[in-house]
Structure formats: C-alpha cells, structure tokens
Structure 1
Amino acid sequence: MNAQIALILGQDGITNGAIYALLALSILLVFTVTRVLFIPQGEFVAYGALGMAAIQAGKPVALVWLLLAFAVAEVAADLAARRKRPGRARGAWRMAARIAYPLALAALMYRLPLARLPMAAQALLTLLLVVPMGPQLYRLFYQPIAGASTLVLLIVSIAVHLALVGLGLYFFGAEGARTAPFSEASFALAPVNLNSQALWVVAVSALLILVLYVFFERSMYGKALRAAAYNRLGARLMGISPVFAGKATFFLAALIGTVSGILIAPITTVYFDSGFLVSLKGFVGAIIGGLVSYPLAAGGAVLVGLIESFSSFWASTYKEIIVFTLIIPVLLWRSLKSHHVEEEDE
C-alpha cells in the first residue's frame, strides 16, 4: 500500500464514517430519551434512498399509502384512548389533519412531474413522505408500552424492524436503486481526487452532528427531553410531556435516517434490506460511545468507517467480521470498568 491508496481508502472511510456517525447519534438520541434501542433506524435509510430513486424515476411512491394506513391506525388508537380518558381527548381537527396529510401528499405526488423536478424539491418530497413515519411508529408501537422494561422495548423494536423490511420489499421490490449525484465535480488534492458527493456527505453530516450536540448538551429544552427518559413521572410533574419527548425524538431519528439515505443513494446501490447493515455499523459506533456520549459515538462511528475501508483492502472477505468484532473488546472493557446494577422494578 502506498500513500495514494491510503488517502483514497481514508476518503472512503471518512465518507462512510460520517453516515455511520449520523446513525450512531440517532440511535443514541432515541435510547437516551426513550430507552428504546431503535433497530428500525436502518429502514428509514433504505426508505429515504429508494423513495428518492422512485421520485427521480417519475414513479409516485406507493409508500404514501403506508403513511395513510399508519395515520388511520393513529386516529383509531386516539379514539380508543378517548373513550377511556374523555378529559384528555385530542381535538377532532387534529385527527382529521392526520388523515388529510397523506391524502394531500398522495394527490401532490400523482399530479407533479416528479422526474423533472429540481433535486432539492425531490429531496423535500422524500422527507415529507418518510419522516412523519417516525412519530407514527412511536405512537403505535412504543407509546403504549413506554413504561415497560428495556428488554420488552428491544423485542418490540425487532418486530417493527422485521415488519418494515417486509413492507419495504412489498413497496419497492427486490431490485436495488441508485440516485443521481448532487454534483459530479471533483477536486484534486495532492495525488487524490476528492468526489464532490463525498464532500456533501461529510459537510451535511458534520452540520447535523453539531446541531444535535448543541441542542442536547447546551440547550435547556434538549436537557428537558433527556430528563423524560430518567424519570417519566418527575418530568411530567415538571411540565415535560414524555409523549411529546418520544415523538420529537423519533421525528429527529427519522429525519436523520432519511437524510442519510438520500446522501448515500448516489454512492452505492441500496436495496430494501440494506439499511439494517448500515445502521448496525452505526450501532457499533454508539456502543463505542457507551450509549451516553455524543462525541464518543460520532468518533467511534468514524473509526468504524476507517477500519471498514482499510479492511476492504487487506482482507475484503472478512471486513464485516472485523468491523463487528470491534464490539467485543469495547464491551469487555466497559464490563470490567463499571459495576453491574440490577434493574429495579417500577
């Protein structure tokens, strides 16, 4: 290996690591606020990439009907809760808006010349289509069991992940897809040509990481959201709604996942089940951060990307094994460093 090859591998590693860092932060974000290990995070990556590809192909995305089905299920769940707690009912206009939103989006997508839209408009439509599913998933599958143990929440996450993978196969098919790059320019840096798409990935990822860090570590509102995870009753007594905190967190996770899918779609072919492997590597980064530190999680995810890139040169057959083996020494070190505390029954 010479210096030029090392620089090329380093560029690929940092590009992949930036995506893994975003997913690591979103996994960490959801866990710190709701205690949910959000395994379906990868499905938002796949849905974002495949939805963007379908829009660029001029095909209305059938995923909008899944959005409508979730909205109907939400309204049904709210109506059921309304009978039990009449004093805490939501307004009828809010329920109607939930149903109207996917219907209006479907009408818009079936009338617009999707393939001829500017790329920014195509990306916006993809976000409008996929991101609202985050709060919907929380309302339907996690809010009713918000007080359950972490193990129960993990089991539900696995079930939701498997269901979304199957739905992805149904709506998008087994064929993979790629999207047009944001820019085809390249910049020479010493012996290496920097791809502008890679620069887009790193720049957007760095911006989102910075915004998340400032929001959750420096702002009072971000700290309030995190407080809802430690003591739901105490947070409620202090005026912090755990339900709103959960929905807001899932919204941010869905936004990060969808943006990640849009960013990687021009770089690699994405399939309906590709998101799980990508998010799993982000999870490795979050584990390196101990599921508590945003900077450590981001740094660990970049390290995962670099190790994966260099492993593909030295031992491409075993690169996935090498990446996932990183969990073992990290968990061993943390188990030796920390004391085990039995989970108390609430």
Structure 2
Amino acid sequence: MGLDQPGLRPDVVLRQALEADMAAVDAVIRTRMASEHAPRIPEVTAHLIGAGGKRLRPLLTLAAARILGYEGRHHIDLAATVEFIHTATLLHDDVVDESAQRRGRPTANLLWDNTSSVLVGDYLFARSFQLMVGTGSLRVLEILSEAAARIAEGEVLQLTAARNLATTEDTYLKVVRGKTATLFAAACESGGVIADATEAQVDGLRTYGDALGVAFQMVDDYLDYGGAGDAIGKDLGDDFRERKLTLPVIRAVAAADDGERAFWRRVIEAGKQEDGDLAHAMALMARHGTLEATRAEALAWSARARAALAPLPEHPLRAALDDLAGYVVARVI
C-alpha cells in the first residue's frame, strides 16, 4: 500500500493508502445524497462535504477492515454511513450553536436557513440507516445506531452542563465521548465487525477509537489556552470567550478558593468578561497546574489508544493508526 513515506502526516498516509476505497466511498456519498424532488438536499450537503476536512472517521472504518484482510464491499458503505452521521451532526450543531462559519466557510444555516439545515441533517441520518441495513449485519446496525443516540445524548448533556460551574470531570468526559469519541469508536468497531474480527480485535478497535477521540478533544482544550492560533485553527482563548467549561477550567474551578470561584462565576456563569480576564484565568490555571494536568491526561489517552491496537495483526495500516494516535497529541509534547 505504499505507507512508508516519512514526513507525511498519518492522516495523509492513510488517505493515500486507501485512495481507491475513498474514491468508492465518495461515489456512494454522491449517489445517496442525491434527491430527485428536493435539490436543496444535495446543495446543502455538497456545501458542507466540499468544505474539506480530514475525513478521518471513514478512513478509520476502511483501515480497520483492511487491517483484518477484508476484501468485500460493505466497508465502503459503512465508511459512507459514518461520514453521513458526522455530516448530519455538524448541520444540527451549527443550528444549535448559531454558528456562522465552519472550516473558514459560511455555514449551511447561514447560507440557507435553520430549517433546511435540520431537515437535510435528518435526511442524511435516514440515508445512513439505509446503508447500515444494506450490510445485513444486525451487530453493525446496533453499533452505529447506538452511536447516533449517544451523539445526540452528548449534545443534550452539553446543553444542561454548559456554563454551570457544578459540572464535573465525569460529566465533561461523557460530553466528550458523546460529541467526539463515540463516532470514532463506532467507525473503528464497525470496520472490525464487518471483517469478522475476533472479539479481542473488535474490543481493541473500539477502545482505540474511543481513546483517540478523547485525546483529540483534550488536546484541543489544552491548546485553546496554551497554543498558537495557527496551530489550532482558532484564536487563543476562544473557549474562554465562549464561556466553555473545558477540562482546564473545570479543574481550576474545583481547586479554587472563594475569591477565585467568584471570578469564575462572573466570567463563565454570568458572562461578564473584562479586559485582562483571560490573562487572569490563565494565571489561575497555572497556579493550580490544570493545563499541565490536561496535557498529561491527553498523553495518557493517546497511550491507551496505541496499546489497544495490540490484538490486531501486523499491517502497514496498523502502524499508520499507531502513528495517528501519536500525531493527535504531538502538538502538546
């Protein structure tokens, strides 16, 4: 598969190695997002999918199946399924968050309207279930339908936990798993199931995807306070200005004295932010070591992901997945 290409990012290596499979996935996506009677559906979907992105989730499904020697076609449909679920959740998220931009482009809800975004997202969910059923695997249907439910559950939990200083690390982790890690895990697990993997291999793939997703989000949380804008695709402190309770803040609140807690109540719960508040928030995180703790936690989740690959057979794509878990946290090492 030509994976020995030093210097390339692991996701690029995966994309190049799985180029033929990804072309087949794109063909399925184009066919299934078409609508004879509602041309707005392919317009909205093409706008979002055309915005780019790493397409990591379908790549994980394809890689998992290929590592285990799968030679059929169902992994193509499952990879398209995963991408449809992801795209549907993005459409819904942008409506809920009232977002105006995604990946540097206007969001669908801004270009069209909220109703179109929600309904097209629903359409993509329906298409994803058609593709799942087409595999003839009840277990795959169970994995991906449960993932869709957990994604929605994570969004609702985030709504109830947002800007509430009583939010715990346990709740944070449930939100992260719902919003990010669940679909990573399902993408990997379904690829293993369709390839008739052993239970140990399926468990390993699921654990890998889950840990990869958690590490990815924790790195993002860390870099919002400890990275550069060009490294994270947003400005330093965006999470603070949006009053998001990410892991560094949750830990700083848990360690706060009365005066510090009053500060957090003002800037997060009440939203009364003033010049100098971001610098003060970062000073409090430094005082309690919460950024360094978040960094260490992300590295631990990355190590968990890499260890989970142990039951899989030796394969160039397995090495690429291992590299990917390292790459996700490379920016905080």
TM-score by length of 2: 0.28
